[in-house]
Chain A
Protein backbone atom coordinates (compact mmCIF):
# COMPACT_ATOMS: atom_id res chain seq x y z
CA UNK A 1 0.00 0.00 0.00
CA UNK A 2 1.37 3.37 -0.98
CA UNK A 3 0.91 6.57 0.85
CA UNK A 4 -0.31 8.45 -2.17
CA UNK A 5 -3.70 9.99 -1.56
CA UNK A 6 -6.67 9.13 -3.73
CA UNK A 7 -9.01 11.60 -2.04
CA UNK A 8 -8.15 14.61 0.03
CA UNK A 9 -10.51 17.26 1.31
CA UNK A 10 -9.74 20.46 3.11
CA UNK A 11 -12.38 22.36 5.07
CA UNK A 12 -15.01 21.21 2.60
CA UNK A 13 -18.29 23.00 3.25
CA UNK A 14 -21.66 22.97 1.55
CA UNK A 15 -24.87 24.72 2.54
CA UNK A 16 -28.33 24.43 1.12
CA UNK A 17 -29.89 27.72 2.07
CA UNK A 18 -29.14 28.18 5.74
CA UNK A 19 -28.62 24.51 6.44
CA UNK A 20 -25.02 23.43 6.50
CA UNK A 21 -24.96 19.91 5.10
CA UNK A 22 -21.22 19.42 5.06
CA UNK A 23 -19.27 21.39 7.63
CA UNK A 24 -15.51 21.96 7.25
CA UNK A 25 -14.90 18.33 6.38
CA UNK A 26 -11.34 17.06 6.34
CA UNK A 27 -10.54 13.51 5.43
CA UNK A 28 -8.31 11.56 3.15
CA UNK A 29 -8.36 8.19 1.45
CA UNK A 30 -5.09 6.47 0.60
CA UNK A 31 -4.56 4.90 -2.77
CA UNK A 32 -5.51 1.21 -3.01
CA UNK A 33 -7.56 1.01 0.12
CA UNK A 34 -11.22 0.43 0.79
CA UNK A 35 -12.58 3.34 2.74
CA UNK A 36 -15.97 3.14 4.40
CA UNK A 37 -17.94 6.34 4.72
CA UNK A 38 -20.46 5.78 7.47
CA UNK A 39 -23.16 7.89 8.93
CA UNK A 40 -26.87 8.04 9.57
CA UNK A 41 -29.24 9.25 6.88
CA UNK A 42 -28.83 12.94 6.19
CA UNK A 43 -25.29 13.07 7.53
CA UNK A 44 -24.02 14.52 4.24
CA UNK A 45 -22.56 11.39 2.68
CA UNK A 46 -24.14 11.79 -0.73
CA UNK A 47 -23.44 15.52 -0.81
CA UNK A 48 -19.79 14.82 -0.05
CA UNK A 49 -19.67 12.29 -2.87
CA UNK A 50 -21.27 14.72 -5.31
CA UNK A 51 -18.63 17.29 -4.41
CA UNK A 52 -15.89 14.70 -4.93
CA UNK A 53 -17.20 14.18 -8.45
CA UNK A 54 -17.61 17.87 -9.16
CA UNK A 55 -21.35 17.40 -9.61
CA UNK A 56 -22.11 19.98 -6.98
CA UNK A 57 -20.05 22.99 -6.05
CA UNK A 58 -18.72 23.38 -2.52
CA UNK A 59 -19.48 26.64 -0.73
CA UNK A 60 -15.88 26.73 0.43
CA UNK A 61 -12.95 24.45 0.93
CA UNK A 62 -11.21 22.19 -1.48
CA UNK A 63 -11.43 18.62 -2.67
CA UNK A 64 -8.79 16.78 -4.65
CA UNK A 65 -9.10 13.40 -6.32
CA UNK A 66 -5.77 11.98 -7.50
CA UNK A 67 -4.37 15.52 -7.42
CA UNK A 68 -7.13 16.90 -9.63
CA UNK A 69 -9.28 19.63 -8.18
CA UNK A 70 -12.83 18.26 -8.51
CA UNK A 71 -14.41 21.68 -8.68
CA UNK A 72 -12.07 23.08 -11.31
CA UNK A 73 -11.30 19.99 -13.37
CA UNK A 74 -14.38 17.80 -13.03
CA UNK A 75 -13.83 16.12 -16.39
CA UNK A 76 -10.39 14.84 -15.45
CA UNK A 77 -11.82 13.49 -12.23
CA UNK A 78 -14.81 11.85 -13.91
CA UNK A 79 -12.54 10.15 -16.41
CA UNK A 80 -10.89 8.09 -13.66
CA UNK A 81 -13.74 7.77 -11.16
CA UNK A 82 -16.61 5.33 -11.43
CA UNK A 83 -19.71 6.32 -9.49
CA UNK A 84 -22.64 4.13 -8.53
CA UNK A 85 -25.46 6.38 -7.31
CA UNK A 86 -27.80 5.31 -4.58
CA UNK A 87 -30.85 5.10 -6.83
CA UNK A 88 -29.29 3.76 -9.97
CA UNK A 89 -31.38 3.88 -13.12
CA UNK A 90 -31.01 2.77 -16.70
CA UNK A 91 -32.64 3.61 -20.00
CA UNK A 92 -35.65 1.29 -19.89
CA UNK A 93 -35.93 0.88 -23.62
CA UNK A 94 -32.33 -0.26 -24.08
CA UNK A 95 -30.79 -3.63 -23.30
CA UNK A 96 -28.10 -4.09 -20.68
CA UNK A 97 -25.51 -4.21 -23.41
CA UNK A 98 -26.80 -1.04 -25.11
CA UNK A 99 -26.83 0.83 -21.82
CA UNK A 100 -23.20 -0.10 -21.21
CA UNK A 101 -22.28 0.70 -24.78
CA UNK A 102 -23.64 4.23 -24.39
CA UNK A 103 -21.54 4.79 -21.26
CA UNK A 104 -18.47 3.41 -23.06
CA UNK A 105 -19.22 5.76 -25.95
CA UNK A 106 -19.32 8.72 -23.54
CA UNK A 107 -15.91 7.64 -22.26
CA UNK A 108 -14.46 7.51 -25.79
CA UNK A 109 -13.67 3.83 -25.61
CA UNK A 110 -12.96 2.26 -29.01
CA UNK A 111 -15.88 0.10 -30.26
CA UNK A 112 -13.90 -3.15 -30.45
CA UNK A 113 -12.54 -2.61 -26.94
CA UNK A 114 -16.06 -1.74 -25.74
CA UNK A 115 -17.51 -5.13 -26.67
CA UNK A 116 -14.68 -6.95 -24.94
CA UNK A 117 -15.08 -4.90 -21.77
CA UNK A 118 -18.86 -5.29 -21.75
CA UNK A 119 -18.54 -9.08 -21.81
CA UNK A 120 -15.92 -8.88 -19.09
CA UNK A 121 -17.91 -6.72 -16.66
CA UNK A 122 -21.19 -8.54 -17.27
CA UNK A 123 -19.40 -11.78 -16.51
CA UNK A 124 -18.01 -10.26 -13.33
CA UNK A 125 -21.46 -9.32 -11.99
CA UNK A 126 -23.13 -12.45 -13.36
CA UNK A 127 -25.44 -10.87 -15.91
CA UNK A 128 -24.05 -12.58 -19.01
CA UNK A 129 -27.31 -14.30 -19.80
CA UNK A 130 -29.39 -11.17 -19.41
CA UNK A 131 -27.17 -8.99 -21.56
CA UNK A 132 -29.68 -8.63 -24.40
CA UNK A 133 -32.70 -8.10 -22.20
CA UNK A 134 -34.21 -4.62 -21.98
CA UNK A 135 -33.54 -3.16 -18.55
CA UNK A 136 -37.23 -2.44 -18.05
CA UNK A 137 -37.59 -6.12 -17.17
CA UNK A 138 -34.71 -6.07 -14.69
CA UNK A 139 -35.36 -6.62 -11.02
CA UNK A 140 -33.99 -4.19 -8.45
CA UNK A 141 -31.07 -6.48 -7.69
CA UNK A 142 -30.24 -6.98 -11.35
CA UNK A 143 -30.22 -3.24 -11.87
CA UNK A 144 -27.89 -2.85 -8.94
CA UNK A 145 -25.54 -5.43 -10.43
CA UNK A 146 -25.71 -3.75 -13.82
CA UNK A 147 -24.83 -0.53 -12.01
CA UNK A 148 -21.67 -2.19 -10.70
CA UNK A 149 -20.83 -3.36 -14.21
CA UNK A 150 -21.43 0.18 -15.43
CA UNK A 151 -18.91 1.55 -12.94
CA UNK A 152 -16.16 -0.78 -14.14
CA UNK A 153 -16.63 -0.30 -17.86
CA UNK A 154 -14.36 2.74 -17.85
CA UNK A 155 -11.64 0.94 -15.87
CA UNK A 156 -11.56 3.50 -13.08
CA UNK A 157 -8.79 4.24 -10.61
CA UNK A 158 -11.31 5.06 -7.92
CA UNK A 159 -14.83 3.75 -7.51
CA UNK A 160 -17.41 5.45 -5.35
CA UNK A 161 -20.26 3.20 -4.33
CA UNK A 162 -23.27 4.76 -2.63
CA UNK A 163 -25.20 2.04 -0.75
CA UNK A 164 -24.18 -0.62 -3.28
CA UNK A 165 -25.76 -3.55 -1.48
CA UNK A 166 -29.29 -2.19 -1.17
CA UNK A 167 -31.71 -4.39 -3.04
CA UNK A 168 -29.33 -7.33 -3.29
CA UNK A 169 -30.10 -10.74 -1.83
CA UNK A 170 -27.65 -12.23 0.71
CA UNK A 171 -25.69 -14.19 -1.87
CA UNK A 172 -25.56 -11.13 -4.09
CA UNK A 173 -24.24 -9.11 -1.17
CA UNK A 174 -21.54 -11.69 -0.48
CA UNK A 175 -20.52 -11.78 -4.10
CA UNK A 176 -20.36 -7.99 -4.27
CA UNK A 177 -18.36 -7.72 -1.06
CA UNK A 178 -15.88 -10.25 -2.45
CA UNK A 179 -15.52 -8.16 -5.58
CA UNK A 180 -14.98 -5.01 -3.52
CA UNK A 181 -12.44 -6.68 -1.25
CA UNK A 182 -10.44 -7.75 -4.30
CA UNK A 183 -10.31 -4.32 -5.92
CA UNK A 184 -7.24 -2.87 -4.15
CA UNK A 185 -5.18 -5.69 -5.62
CA UNK A 186 -6.26 -4.54 -9.07
CA UNK A 187 -5.08 -1.04 -8.27
CA UNK A 188 -8.53 0.34 -7.61
CA UNK A 189 -9.33 2.50 -4.61
CA UNK A 190 -12.84 2.22 -3.19
CA UNK A 191 -14.99 4.69 -1.32
CA UNK A 192 -17.94 2.80 0.08
CA UNK A 193 -20.79 4.76 1.55
CA UNK A 194 -23.12 2.70 3.63
CA UNK A 195 -24.92 2.26 6.87
CA UNK A 196 -24.65 -1.52 6.75
CA UNK A 197 -22.00 -1.73 9.43
CA UNK A 198 -21.02 -5.35 9.21
CA UNK A 199 -20.52 -5.11 5.45
CA UNK A 200 -18.27 -2.10 5.90
CA UNK A 201 -16.35 -3.91 8.59
CA UNK A 202 -15.85 -6.88 6.35
CA UNK A 203 -14.22 -5.09 3.45
CA UNK A 204 -12.93 -1.73 4.64
CA UNK A 205 -9.46 -1.02 5.90
CA UNK A 206 -10.39 2.45 7.10
CA UNK A 207 -13.62 4.11 7.99
CA UNK A 208 -14.84 7.61 8.57
CA UNK A 209 -18.02 8.33 10.45
CA UNK A 210 -19.94 11.36 9.36
CA UNK A 211 -22.50 13.09 11.51
CA UNK A 212 -24.24 16.36 10.70
CA UNK A 213 -21.67 17.09 8.03
CA UNK A 214 -18.69 16.60 10.29
CA UNK A 215 -16.24 13.73 10.40
CA UNK A 216 -16.59 12.59 13.99
CA UNK A 217 -13.97 9.91 13.70
CA UNK A 218 -11.64 8.64 11.04
CA UNK A 219 -9.02 5.96 11.01
CA UNK A 220 -8.30 2.29 10.51
CA UNK A 221 -10.80 -0.15 11.97
CA UNK A 222 -8.25 -1.54 14.46
CA UNK A 223 -7.39 1.85 15.86
CA UNK A 224 -10.98 2.88 16.16
CA UNK A 225 -11.89 -0.33 17.91
CA UNK A 226 -9.24 0.22 20.52
CA UNK A 227 -10.49 3.72 21.13
CA UNK A 228 -14.12 2.76 21.29
CA UNK A 229 -13.56 -0.10 23.68
CA UNK A 230 -11.75 2.19 26.09
CA UNK A 231 -8.38 0.88 25.06
CA UNK A 232 -9.18 -2.83 25.02
CA UNK A 233 -9.60 -4.90 21.94
CA UNK A 234 -11.68 -7.54 23.67
CA UNK A 235 -14.63 -7.23 25.98
CA UNK A 236 -15.11 -10.09 28.43
CA UNK A 237 -18.30 -10.32 30.42
CA UNK A 238 -18.20 -12.40 33.57
CA UNK A 239 -21.29 -13.28 35.54
CA UNK A 240 -20.84 -14.68 39.05
CA UNK A 241 -23.43 -15.99 41.48
CA UNK A 242 -22.11 -14.22 44.54
CA UNK A 243 -19.62 -11.49 43.77
CA UNK A 244 -16.92 -11.11 46.38
CA UNK A 245 -15.56 -7.67 47.26
CA UNK A 246 -11.97 -8.39 46.41
CA UNK A 247 -12.64 -9.89 42.99
CA UNK A 248 -12.48 -6.66 41.04
CA UNK A 249 -9.08 -5.80 42.47
CA UNK A 250 -7.71 -9.25 41.77
CA UNK A 251 -8.81 -9.16 38.16
CA UNK A 252 -7.43 -5.66 37.76
CA UNK A 253 -4.01 -7.01 38.60
CA UNK A 254 -4.04 -9.51 35.74
CA UNK A 255 -1.66 -8.34 33.07
CA UNK A 256 -3.47 -7.05 30.00
CA UNK A 257 -6.66 -5.91 31.71
CA UNK A 258 -7.25 -2.30 30.87
CA UNK A 259 -10.55 -1.47 32.43
CA UNK A 260 -13.18 -3.12 34.56
CA UNK A 261 -16.74 -2.17 35.31
CA UNK A 262 -18.93 -3.86 37.87
CA UNK A 263 -22.64 -3.96 37.22
CA UNK A 264 -24.38 -6.07 39.87
CA UNK A 265 -23.34 -9.64 39.33
CA UNK A 266 -21.82 -8.86 35.96
CA UNK A 267 -18.28 -7.64 35.41
CA UNK A 268 -17.35 -6.02 32.13
CA UNK A 269 -13.65 -6.32 31.50
CA UNK A 270 -11.77 -4.74 28.59
CA UNK A 271 -8.56 -6.44 27.71
CA UNK A 272 -6.02 -6.23 24.93
CA UNK A 273 -5.98 -9.99 24.40
CA UNK A 274 -8.13 -13.02 25.14
CA UNK A 275 -7.62 -13.46 28.89
CA UNK A 276 -10.52 -15.80 29.57
CA UNK A 277 -8.41 -18.55 31.21
CA UNK A 278 -6.61 -16.16 33.56
CA UNK A 279 -9.87 -14.45 34.51
CA UNK A 280 -11.74 -17.69 35.14
CA UNK A 281 -8.89 -18.90 37.31
CA UNK A 282 -9.04 -15.67 39.32
CA UNK A 283 -12.80 -16.02 39.74
CA UNK A 284 -12.56 -19.62 40.86
CA UNK A 285 -9.65 -18.85 43.22
CA UNK A 286 -11.83 -16.15 44.74
CA UNK A 287 -14.61 -18.69 45.43
CA UNK A 288 -17.07 -16.65 43.42
CA UNK A 289 -19.25 -19.13 41.53
CA UNK A 290 -18.85 -18.57 37.84
CA UNK A 291 -22.22 -18.55 36.05
CA UNK A 292 -21.12 -17.63 32.59
CA UNK A 293 -18.44 -15.88 30.63
CA UNK A 294 -18.73 -14.23 27.25
CA UNK A 295 -16.13 -12.69 25.05
CA UNK A 296 -16.75 -10.46 22.16
CA UNK A 297 -14.47 -8.70 19.84
CA UNK A 298 -15.38 -5.11 19.22
CA UNK A 299 -17.44 -4.51 16.12
CA UNK A 300 -18.14 -1.44 14.14
CA UNK A 301 -21.51 -1.30 15.82
CA UNK A 302 -19.80 -0.54 19.10
CA UNK A 303 -17.80 2.26 17.57
CA UNK A 304 -20.81 3.58 15.79
CA UNK A 305 -23.14 3.39 18.75
CA UNK A 306 -20.57 4.88 21.06
CA UNK A 307 -20.16 7.95 18.89
CA UNK A 308 -23.82 8.43 18.37
CA UNK A 309 -24.61 7.99 22.01
CA UNK A 310 -22.10 10.68 22.82
CA UNK A 311 -23.51 13.11 20.30
Chain B
Protein backbone atom coordinates (compact mmCIF):
# COMPACT_ATOMS: atom_id res chain seq x y z
CA UNK B 1 0.00 0.00 0.00
CA UNK B 2 2.94 2.32 0.73
CA UNK B 3 3.96 1.98 -2.91
CA UNK B 4 0.50 3.09 -4.05
CA UNK B 5 0.42 6.05 -1.64
CA UNK B 6 3.88 7.09 -2.81
CA UNK B 7 2.88 6.92 -6.46
CA UNK B 8 -0.41 8.74 -5.93
CA UNK B 9 1.30 11.52 -3.99
CA UNK B 10 3.93 11.89 -6.70
CA UNK B 11 1.11 12.05 -9.25
CA UNK B 12 -0.78 14.67 -7.26
CA UNK B 13 2.24 16.88 -6.76
CA UNK B 14 3.34 16.71 -10.37
CA UNK B 15 -0.05 17.35 -11.87
CA UNK B 16 -1.31 20.62 -13.27
CA UNK B 17 -4.45 19.95 -11.30
CA UNK B 18 -2.51 20.26 -8.06
CA UNK B 19 -0.87 23.47 -9.20
CA UNK B 20 -4.26 24.98 -9.95
CA UNK B 21 -5.65 23.89 -6.60
CA UNK B 22 -2.64 25.29 -4.85
CA UNK B 23 -3.07 28.60 -6.60
CA UNK B 24 -6.66 28.56 -5.39
CA UNK B 25 -5.45 28.04 -1.83
CA UNK B 26 -2.95 30.87 -2.23
CA UNK B 27 -5.73 33.14 -3.45
CA UNK B 28 -7.72 32.20 -0.36
CA UNK B 29 -4.72 32.99 1.81
CA UNK B 30 -4.06 36.28 0.04
CA UNK B 31 -7.69 37.30 0.31
CA UNK B 32 -7.78 36.24 3.92
CA UNK B 33 -4.71 38.24 4.83
CA UNK B 34 -5.90 41.29 2.97
CA UNK B 35 -9.34 41.12 4.55
CA UNK B 36 -7.76 40.62 7.95
CA UNK B 37 -5.45 43.58 7.51
CA UNK B 38 -8.31 45.84 6.61
CA UNK B 39 -11.01 44.48 8.79
CA UNK B 40 -9.31 43.17 11.87
CA UNK B 41 -10.54 46.09 13.89
CA UNK B 42 -14.18 45.10 13.51
CA UNK B 43 -13.27 41.50 14.12
CA UNK B 44 -11.40 42.40 17.26
CA UNK B 45 -14.31 44.40 18.53
CA UNK B 46 -16.76 41.68 17.68
CA UNK B 47 -14.70 39.09 19.47
CA UNK B 48 -14.22 41.42 22.41
CA UNK B 49 -10.46 41.10 21.98
CA UNK B 50 -10.13 44.81 22.52
CA UNK B 51 -11.33 44.30 26.05
CA UNK B 52 -8.60 41.69 26.31
CA UNK B 53 -10.81 38.69 27.00
CA UNK B 54 -11.12 37.61 23.36
CA UNK B 55 -8.86 35.96 20.88
CA UNK B 56 -6.62 38.27 18.92
CA UNK B 57 -4.85 35.65 16.88
CA UNK B 58 -8.08 33.92 15.84
CA UNK B 59 -9.36 37.26 14.54
CA UNK B 60 -6.87 36.91 11.70
CA UNK B 61 -9.02 34.10 10.35
CA UNK B 62 -12.40 35.62 10.94
CA UNK B 63 -11.94 39.15 9.65
CA UNK B 64 -13.75 40.40 6.62
CA UNK B 65 -13.57 43.70 4.90
CA UNK B 66 -16.34 44.95 2.70
CA UNK B 67 -16.85 42.54 -0.12
CA UNK B 68 -13.69 40.57 0.58
CA UNK B 69 -14.87 37.45 2.37
CA UNK B 70 -13.31 36.03 5.44
CA UNK B 71 -10.67 33.38 5.12
CA UNK B 72 -12.81 30.62 6.60
CA UNK B 73 -15.56 31.21 4.06
CA UNK B 74 -13.14 30.90 1.16
CA UNK B 75 -11.69 27.75 2.67
CA UNK B 76 -15.22 26.34 3.00
CA UNK B 77 -15.39 26.53 -0.80
CA UNK B 78 -11.81 25.71 -1.73
CA UNK B 79 -11.45 22.58 0.39
CA UNK B 80 -14.51 20.73 -0.99
CA UNK B 81 -13.42 21.57 -4.53
CA UNK B 82 -9.96 20.26 -3.72
CA UNK B 83 -11.44 17.05 -2.34
CA UNK B 84 -13.68 16.53 -5.37
CA UNK B 85 -10.90 17.23 -7.86
CA UNK B 86 -8.51 14.86 -6.09
CA UNK B 87 -10.98 11.99 -6.03
CA UNK B 88 -13.22 12.18 -9.06
CA UNK B 89 -11.12 10.03 -11.39
CA UNK B 90 -9.37 7.86 -8.81
CA UNK B 91 -10.73 4.54 -10.06
CA UNK B 92 -12.32 5.19 -13.44
CA UNK B 93 -9.17 6.71 -14.92
CA UNK B 94 -7.34 3.47 -14.07
CA UNK B 95 -10.13 1.55 -15.71
CA UNK B 96 -10.27 3.56 -18.93
CA UNK B 97 -6.47 3.75 -19.07
CA UNK B 98 -6.22 -0.04 -18.92
CA UNK B 99 -3.98 0.12 -15.87
CA UNK B 100 -6.45 -1.35 -13.40
CA UNK B 101 -6.09 -4.97 -14.46
CA UNK B 102 -2.32 -4.61 -14.62
CA UNK B 103 -2.24 -3.03 -11.18
CA UNK B 104 -4.50 -5.66 -9.64
CA UNK B 105 -2.51 -8.53 -11.11
CA UNK B 106 0.37 -7.44 -8.92
CA UNK B 107 0.58 -8.90 -5.42
CA UNK B 108 -1.54 -6.22 -3.74
CA UNK B 109 -4.90 -6.57 -2.07
CA UNK B 110 -7.66 -4.89 -3.93
CA UNK B 111 -8.50 -2.74 -0.92
CA UNK B 112 -4.93 -1.40 -0.83
CA UNK B 113 -5.62 0.33 -4.13
CA UNK B 114 -8.60 2.28 -2.88
CA UNK B 115 -7.14 2.80 0.62
CA UNK B 116 -3.89 4.05 -0.84
CA UNK B 117 -5.65 6.51 -3.09
CA UNK B 118 -7.85 7.76 -0.25
CA UNK B 119 -4.91 8.21 2.11
CA UNK B 120 -2.81 9.98 -0.52
CA UNK B 121 -5.73 12.36 -1.10
CA UNK B 122 -6.07 13.04 2.62
CA UNK B 123 -2.35 13.74 2.88
CA UNK B 124 -2.65 16.22 0.01
CA UNK B 125 -5.65 17.96 1.58
CA UNK B 126 -3.81 18.06 4.91
CA UNK B 127 -0.82 19.74 3.30
CA UNK B 128 -3.04 22.30 1.55
CA UNK B 129 -5.16 23.17 4.59
CA UNK B 130 -2.07 23.24 6.81
CA UNK B 131 -0.22 25.52 4.42
CA UNK B 132 -3.15 27.90 4.19
CA UNK B 133 -3.60 28.19 7.95
CA UNK B 134 0.11 28.53 8.66
CA UNK B 135 0.55 31.16 5.94
CA UNK B 136 -2.24 33.34 7.32
CA UNK B 137 -0.95 32.89 10.87
CA UNK B 138 2.62 33.57 9.83
CA UNK B 139 1.83 36.72 7.89
CA UNK B 140 -0.28 37.86 10.80
CA UNK B 141 2.63 37.49 13.15
CA UNK B 142 5.02 39.57 11.10
CA UNK B 143 2.82 42.06 9.28
CA UNK B 144 0.10 43.45 11.43
CA UNK B 145 0.36 46.58 13.44
CA UNK B 146 -2.29 46.64 16.11
CA UNK B 147 -1.05 49.62 18.06
CA UNK B 148 -3.74 51.94 16.68
CA UNK B 149 -6.33 49.59 18.21
CA UNK B 150 -5.06 50.06 21.71
CA UNK B 151 -2.70 47.13 22.10
CA UNK B 152 0.54 47.39 23.91
CA UNK B 153 2.85 45.84 21.43
CA UNK B 154 6.37 44.82 22.12
CA UNK B 155 7.02 44.05 18.47
CA UNK B 156 5.16 44.13 15.23
CA UNK B 157 2.38 41.75 14.26
CA UNK B 158 -0.41 40.22 16.28
CA UNK B 159 0.55 38.77 19.64
CA UNK B 160 1.70 35.20 19.61
CA UNK B 161 -1.28 32.81 19.94
CA UNK B 162 -2.18 31.55 23.38
CA UNK B 163 -2.23 27.77 23.93
CA UNK B 164 -6.01 27.82 23.72
CA UNK B 165 -5.86 29.59 20.37
CA UNK B 166 -3.40 27.04 19.08
CA UNK B 167 -5.68 24.20 20.14
CA UNK B 168 -8.70 25.89 18.58
CA UNK B 169 -6.83 26.46 15.33
CA UNK B 170 -5.60 22.89 15.32
CA UNK B 171 -9.16 21.63 15.77
CA UNK B 172 -10.28 23.90 12.96
CA UNK B 173 -7.53 22.36 10.83
CA UNK B 174 -8.73 18.86 11.76
CA UNK B 175 -12.38 19.49 10.86
CA UNK B 176 -11.29 21.15 7.62
CA UNK B 177 -9.37 18.03 6.64
CA UNK B 178 -12.30 15.82 7.65
CA UNK B 179 -14.63 18.02 5.61
CA UNK B 180 -12.31 17.75 2.60
CA UNK B 181 -12.10 13.99 3.12
CA UNK B 182 -15.88 13.78 2.96
CA UNK B 183 -16.02 15.45 -0.45
CA UNK B 184 -13.15 13.35 -1.70
CA UNK B 185 -14.86 10.19 -0.47
CA UNK B 186 -18.02 11.26 -2.26
CA UNK B 187 -16.26 11.90 -5.55
CA UNK B 188 -14.33 8.63 -5.23
CA UNK B 189 -17.63 6.85 -4.77
CA UNK B 190 -18.77 8.24 -8.10
CA UNK B 191 -15.45 7.36 -9.68
CA UNK B 192 -16.13 3.74 -8.76
CA UNK B 193 -19.72 3.81 -9.99
CA UNK B 194 -19.26 5.79 -13.20
CA UNK B 195 -17.05 4.63 -16.01
CA UNK B 196 -16.51 8.15 -17.31
CA UNK B 197 -14.66 10.85 -15.45
CA UNK B 198 -17.04 13.56 -16.70
CA UNK B 199 -19.94 12.07 -14.75
CA UNK B 200 -17.96 11.49 -11.61
CA UNK B 201 -16.77 15.10 -11.63
CA UNK B 202 -20.10 16.66 -12.44
CA UNK B 203 -22.28 14.91 -9.89
CA UNK B 204 -20.23 15.66 -6.75
CA UNK B 205 -19.88 19.25 -7.98
CA UNK B 206 -23.65 19.54 -8.34
CA UNK B 207 -24.14 18.06 -4.87
CA UNK B 208 -21.65 20.57 -3.50
CA UNK B 209 -23.40 23.46 -5.21
CA UNK B 210 -26.75 22.34 -3.83
CA UNK B 211 -25.48 21.81 -0.30
CA UNK B 212 -23.31 24.87 -0.13
CA UNK B 213 -24.51 27.57 -2.49
CA UNK B 214 -28.20 26.79 -2.49
CA UNK B 215 -28.66 25.40 0.98
CA UNK B 216 -26.30 27.57 3.03
CA UNK B 217 -25.24 30.54 0.94
CA UNK B 218 -28.50 31.46 -0.82
CA UNK B 219 -30.62 30.38 2.11
CA UNK B 220 -32.74 27.74 0.39
CA UNK B 221 -32.15 25.49 3.38
CA UNK B 222 -33.57 28.12 5.69
CA UNK B 223 -36.57 28.63 3.43
CA UNK B 224 -37.30 24.91 3.30
CA UNK B 225 -36.85 24.58 7.05
CA UNK B 226 -39.22 27.48 7.55
CA UNK B 227 -41.80 25.92 5.27
CA UNK B 228 -41.56 22.54 6.96
CA UNK B 229 -41.58 23.86 10.48
CA UNK B 230 -42.77 27.47 10.59
CA UNK B 231 -42.30 29.39 13.80
CA UNK B 232 -45.68 30.89 14.54
CA UNK B 233 -45.92 33.76 16.93
CA UNK B 234 -49.24 32.53 18.21
CA UNK B 235 -47.92 29.28 19.65
CA UNK B 236 -46.36 29.10 23.09
CA UNK B 237 -42.66 29.37 23.80
CA UNK B 238 -42.08 25.64 24.17
CA UNK B 239 -43.57 24.95 20.74
CA UNK B 240 -41.61 27.79 19.21
CA UNK B 241 -38.35 26.43 20.61
CA UNK B 242 -39.29 23.02 19.29
CA UNK B 243 -39.98 24.47 15.85
CA UNK B 244 -36.71 26.37 15.85
CA UNK B 245 -34.89 23.18 16.80
CA UNK B 246 -36.58 21.38 13.95
CA UNK B 247 -35.46 24.10 11.56
CA UNK B 248 -31.90 23.74 12.74
CA UNK B 249 -32.03 19.98 12.26
CA UNK B 250 -33.22 20.45 8.70
CA UNK B 251 -30.43 22.94 8.00
CA UNK B 252 -27.90 20.49 9.38
CA UNK B 253 -28.76 17.97 6.71
CA UNK B 254 -26.17 19.81 4.64
CA UNK B 255 -22.58 18.89 5.48
CA UNK B 256 -21.61 22.43 4.52
CA UNK B 257 -23.89 23.78 7.23
CA UNK B 258 -22.40 21.38 9.76
CA UNK B 259 -18.93 22.53 8.81
CA UNK B 260 -19.87 26.17 9.09
CA UNK B 261 -21.40 25.76 12.52
CA UNK B 262 -18.39 23.79 13.70
CA UNK B 263 -15.78 26.29 12.65
CA UNK B 264 -17.85 29.21 13.86
CA UNK B 265 -17.90 27.74 17.37
CA UNK B 266 -14.17 27.01 17.23
CA UNK B 267 -12.96 30.31 15.85
CA UNK B 268 -15.60 32.73 17.12
CA UNK B 269 -16.14 31.45 20.61
CA UNK B 270 -17.93 34.66 21.61
CA UNK B 271 -20.80 33.73 19.37
CA UNK B 272 -23.47 32.15 21.48
CA UNK B 273 -23.98 28.42 21.57
CA UNK B 274 -25.71 26.55 18.81
CA UNK B 275 -29.12 26.07 20.38
CA UNK B 276 -32.04 28.45 20.61
CA UNK B 277 -31.85 31.09 23.33
CA UNK B 278 -34.87 33.04 24.38
CA UNK B 279 -34.71 36.74 25.11
CA UNK B 280 -35.43 35.94 28.73
CA UNK B 281 -32.43 33.60 28.90
CA UNK B 282 -30.18 35.94 26.98
CA UNK B 283 -30.39 38.48 29.77
CA UNK B 284 -28.55 36.11 32.04
CA UNK B 285 -25.80 35.25 29.60
CA UNK B 286 -22.31 36.17 30.69
CA UNK B 287 -20.55 38.12 27.98
CA UNK B 288 -17.55 35.80 27.99
CA UNK B 289 -16.32 33.54 25.24
CA UNK B 290 -17.39 29.97 25.81
CA UNK B 291 -14.62 27.81 27.12
CA UNK B 292 -12.67 25.38 25.00
CA UNK B 293 -14.27 22.32 26.58
CA UNK B 294 -17.74 23.75 26.06
CA UNK B 295 -16.90 24.56 22.43
CA UNK B 296 -15.70 21.03 21.99
CA UNK B 297 -18.89 19.66 23.49
CA UNK B 298 -20.93 21.82 21.15
CA UNK B 299 -19.16 20.68 17.98
CA UNK B 300 -18.53 17.08 18.95
CA UNK B 301 -21.69 15.86 17.16
CA UNK B 302 -20.67 17.88 14.10
CA UNK B 303 -17.27 16.28 14.00
CA UNK B 304 -18.74 12.81 14.47
CA UNK B 305 -21.32 13.58 11.78
CA UNK B 306 -18.69 14.60 9.25
CA UNK B 307 -16.39 11.69 10.08
CA UNK B 308 -19.25 9.24 9.67
CA UNK B 309 -20.36 10.83 6.39
CA UNK B 310 -16.83 10.39 5.04
CA UNK B 311 -16.71 6.85 6.39
CA UNK B 312 -20.06 5.99 4.80
CA UNK B 313 -18.98 7.32 1.39
CA UNK B 314 -15.71 5.48 1.64
CA UNK B 315 -17.37 2.25 2.79
CA UNK B 316 -19.88 2.26 -0.07
CA UNK B 317 -17.19 2.86 -2.69
CA UNK B 318 -15.07 0.20 -1.01
CA UNK B 319 -17.84 -2.41 -1.15
CA UNK B 320 -18.75 -1.62 -4.75
CA UNK B 321 -15.12 -1.67 -5.81
CA UNK B 322 -14.43 -4.99 -4.09
CA UNK B 323 -17.33 -6.61 -5.92
CA UNK B 324 -16.74 -4.99 -9.28
CA UNK B 325 -15.54 -6.93 -12.27
CA UNK B 326 -12.08 -5.99 -13.38
CA UNK B 327 -12.29 -6.59 -17.09
CA UNK B 328 -12.20 -3.44 -19.09
CA UNK B 329 -14.86 -4.37 -21.57
Contact = CB atoms under 8 A, between A and B. Distances in A.
A93 B99 contact: no
A56 B98 contact: no
A55 B99 contact: no
Given A85-B328, A89-B99, A91-B99, A105 B105 contact: no
A8 interface: no
A93 B8 CA distance: 12
A81 B105 contact: yes
Interface in B1-36: 3-4, 6-7, 11, 14-15
A181 interface: no
Contact of B11 (A88, A89, A93, A150): A93
Interface of B: 3-4, 6-7, 11, 14-15, 97-99, 101-109, 325-329
A53 B105 contact: yes
B104 A55 contact: yes
Contact of B106 (A47, A76, A93, A106): A106
Nearest 9 Cβ contacts at the A-B interface:
A89-B98, A83-B105, A105-B3, A106-B106, A89-B97, A85-B101, A78-B107, A79-B107, A87-B98
A150 B102 contact: yes
Contacts of A198: none
B106 A107 contact: yes
B101 A55 contact: yes
Contacts of B6: 105
Contacts of A76: 107
A107 B107 CA distance: 6
B180 to A, nearest CB: 23
A221 B103 CA distance: 34
Interface of A: 46-47, 50, 53, 55-56, 75-76, 78-79, 81-83, 85-93, 102-103, 105-108, 147, 150, 154
Contacts of B102: 83, 85, 88-90, 103, 147, 150
B11 A78 contact: no
A165 B198 CA distance: 33
B98 A78 contact: no
9 contacts: A50-B327, A53-B105, A55-B105, A75-B107, A83-B101, A85-B98, A88-B102, A93-B11, A107-B107
A150 B106 CA distance: 11
A147 B327 CA distance: 17
A78 B112 CA distance: 15
Contacts of A93: 11, 14-15
Nearest to A78: B107
Contacts of B103: 106
Contacts of A147: 102
